[in-house]
Amino acid sequence: MDELELLKKDWKKQGDSFQKLSYNEIYKMIHKKSSSIVKWIFIICIAEFLFWGFANLLIPDSFFEIYEKLHLKTILQTTQVLHYIVVVIFIYLFYKNYNAICVIDSTSLLMKKIIKTRKTVNYYVYYNIIVTAILSIVVNIIMFSDEALLNEVLNPENKIIDHDKFFNIMLISQVVALIVMIGLLWLYYKLIYGILLRKLNKNYKELESLEI
């Protein structure tokens, strides 16, 4: 291809055409902050660990009273201990994968490692969502299977209410809350992946498709 050869010839001549940076300019440059995606992924991952770690603390005390009435307190305490063990394992894995990221690896290996690090945190988030879902399903099953108990927990003052209506409102509000939560999570991940990882995923797929 003639043009490519022409370009190659020109390419070698171009050395002097660049604006050479002075010692001081380089000095200033290396003291500036990086804006690499690895740094952003790190910040976002830490924020996610903290968010899900502290999410427990945001649950109001009254909620735990309900658990007590439902005789679920021991289960809850056990799952919490297990939960913290799992969190520690996740943080360790994240740290290990993050540390393995190395800029002098080959392009495809570097991408693989970044994606692996990000995936660790994704699994952590999935884990949290699944645990939350299982807990709320268990609580719901126990509550709804015992009408007297349900009444005692949610209507302690024993107000006169229409039972069917009450059930419907309970169900609808739970479904709405669930949809809103899923919507927010979906939006969050769309944003993260859209802004930060689109380019990386696209390039990685291109390399992967080549190796098949």
Partner 1 sequence: MTKELEHKFISEFQENQNIIHKVCRIYTNNQEAHNDLFQEITIQLWKAYPKFRGESKLSTWMYRIGLNTAITLYRKSKRSIKTQDFDSVLHRIKSTDYDDTEEEQLKLMYKAIHQLSDIDKALIFLYLEDKNYKEISATIGISEVNARVKMNRIKTRLRTILNP
Residues that bind partner 1 (CB under 8 A): 1, 3-4, 6-8, 10-11, 13-15, 17-18, 20-23, 26-27, 29-30, 32-38, 40, 103-111, 114, 196, 199-200, 202-203, 206-207, 210-211
Closest CB to partner 1 among residues 37, 135: 37
Question: Closest separation between CB of residue 116 and partner 1, Å?
Answer: 13
Closest CB to partner 1 among residues 13, 159: 13
Closest CB to partner 1 among residues 20, 165: 20
CB 118, CB 207: distance < 8 Å: no
Q: How far apart are CA 21 and CA 19, in angstroms?
A: 6
Q: How far apart are CA 136 and CA 130, in angstroms?
A: 10
Question: Closest separation between CB of residue 189 and partner 1, Å?
Answer: 18
Q: How far apart are CA 118 and CA 157, in angstroms?
A: 49
Cβ neighbours for 116, distance < 8 A, ≥ 6 positions apart: 97, 100
Distances (CA, A) of 84 to 49, 87, 114: 12, 5, 25
Q: What angle do CA 185, 190, 193 make, to 5 degrees?
A: 120
Question: Closest separation between CB of residue 38 and partner 1, Å?
Answer: 6
Cβ neighbours for 64, distance < 8 A, ≥ 6 positions apart: 73, 76
Question: Closest separation between CB of residue 34 and partner 1, Å?
Answer: 5
Which residue's entry shows tokens 């604006």?
A: 19
Cβ neighbours for 55, distance < 8 A, ≥ 6 positions apart: 128
Question: Closest separation between CB of residue 58 and partner 1, Å?
Answer: 32
Closest CB to partner 1 among residues 68, 105: 105
CB 47, CB 191: distance < 8 Å: no
Closest CB to partner 1 among residues 109, 171: 109
Closest CB to partner 1 among residues 46, 131: 46
